[in-house]
Amino acid sequence: MIAEKLFTTYGKLLIAMYDNQMMVNGKHVMPLTQVELAEMLNTNKTTINLLFKEYKADKLLEKDKGRYYLTDVAVEVVKKLKSVKW
C-alpha cells in the first residue's frame, strides 16, 4: 500500500522530485537524473531506478519523449504529504 511507504525513501524521493520539477507543456517534468536524485537522498541509482518502477506501477510517474513526469495523482499525494506536521 502506498500510504505505508510514504515515510520512507519512497516518499522522500517523491518530494524531492516534486520540489525540483519544471512545468513543460502542462506536465510536472523531472529535470534531474537518477544519479543526481540518488546523491540528494544519500542512496544509489539502483534504488532510485527501483523506486521509479514502483512509481510507474502505482501510477505516480510516467515517461514521455525521454522525460519522466509526475502524474496529477503524484502531485496531490506530495501536497498532502508536505502538509503533515513532522
Calculate ∠ Cα 21-24-27, nearest 5°: 75
Predicted structure pTM score: 0.83
- What is the residue extent of each domain of the chain? 2-82
Q: What is the pLDDT of residues 58-72, one digit of tens each?
A: 999 999 888 899 999
Judged by average pLDDT, the poorest of 6-15, 48-57, 73-82 is: 6-15
The backbone region for 65, taken as left when phi is positive above 0, alpha when psi lies in -120 to 50, beta otherwise, is left
Flag whether pLDDT at 1 surpasses 60.
no
The domain 2-82 having CATH identifier 3.30.300.30: the answer here is: no
DSSP 25-80: TTEEE--S-HHHHHHHTTS-HHHHHHHHHHHHHTTSEEEETTEEEE-HHHHHHHHH
Distance CA 7, CA 12 (A): 7
